[in-house]
Amino acid sequence: RRHTRYWRDWSSDVCSSDLSLMTHTHAPPPPSPLQSRLSAARARTAPFLHRTPLRPSRRLGELAGRPVFLKLDNLQKTGSFKVRGFMHKVLTHSEASDTGLLTFSSGNAAQGLAYAAQRAGIRAVVVMTPGANPAKVAATRSYGAEVVFADSLEHIAATAQALATREDRKSTRLN
C-alpha cells in the first residue's frame, strides 16, 4: 500500500509530455562495426549460397538446460559451412582473380574453395593427400579445381607452399 501511494504521488508530478516520452520506444542503437561487416558479408555471398535452416534440438536443449538450435549447414552447397568463408574471401580478395587460388585440404575446405572459385571465375588448385576420400576428390574436381596430390600428410603444407610460389602456377594461398 505504501508503494502504491508513492507511485500516485510521483505520477502526479509528471507532466503529460514526460509520460509520452516514457511510453514511446526509442530507435534501436546503430549496428556495431562487427554487425555492419557481417551484414555486408551476408549480402555479398547470398546469391551464391543456400539459406540453411536453424532447427531446435530438444535433446541438446535438455542437456544444456536452455534452448539449443542447430544450423543445418550440411544442406549448404558442398555440404559444409566452409563454403561460406571461402565465398566471402574469394569475392573480397583482389589478388585472386589475377593469380588463382590455392589451398590444401582433403575434405570440406577443398570443396568450399573449389566451388567459390568456380562461381567467381577464378582458377583453383587444391593440394590433397594420397589417401583422400575419392568422393571428396571427385567433388572437388567437379567444382572445377585442379587437384594435386602431396606425397604424404606431413608434406601437404610444403607442397602447397611450393606450388603457390612457382612462376608457372603462381597462386594466392587461402587456408
At 141-167, the pLDDT tens digits run 999 999 999 988 888 888 888 888 775
Residues in the chain: 175
Residue-wise burial string across 71-82, b where 16 or more C-beta atoms lie within 10 A, e elsewhere: eebeebbbebbb
Task: Provide the pLDDT for residue 10.
Answer: 41
14 phi/psi in degrees, rounded to 5: -90, 130
Residue found under cell 577443398: 110
Q: Mapping DSSP to helix (H, G, I), strand (E, B) and coil, where does residue 128 land?
A: strand
Q: What is the mean pLDDT of the chain?
A: 82
Residue pair 121/96 in contact by the 8 Å Cβ criterion: no
Q: Which of 64-68, 76-80, 159-163 has the lowest mean pLDDT?
A: 159-163
Q: Mapping DSSP to helix (H, G, I), strand (E, B) and coil, where does residue 11 land?
A: helix
Strands 54-56 and 69-71: antiparallel
Task: Provide the pLDDT for residue 2.
Answer: 44
Q: List pLDDT tens digits, range 87-132.
A: 999 998 866 566 788 899 988 999 999 999 999 999 999 999 989 9
- Between the two ends of the chain, the Cα-to-Cα distance in Å is 67
Residue pair 93/44 in contact by the 8 Å Cβ criterion: no
Closest CA to 92 of 66, 65, 120: 120
Question: HSE of 10 in the Cβ direction (CA atoms, 13 Å)?
Answer: 8
The pTM for the full model equals: 0.74
pLDDT exceeds 60 at position 11: no
What is the grid cell recorded at 1?
500500500
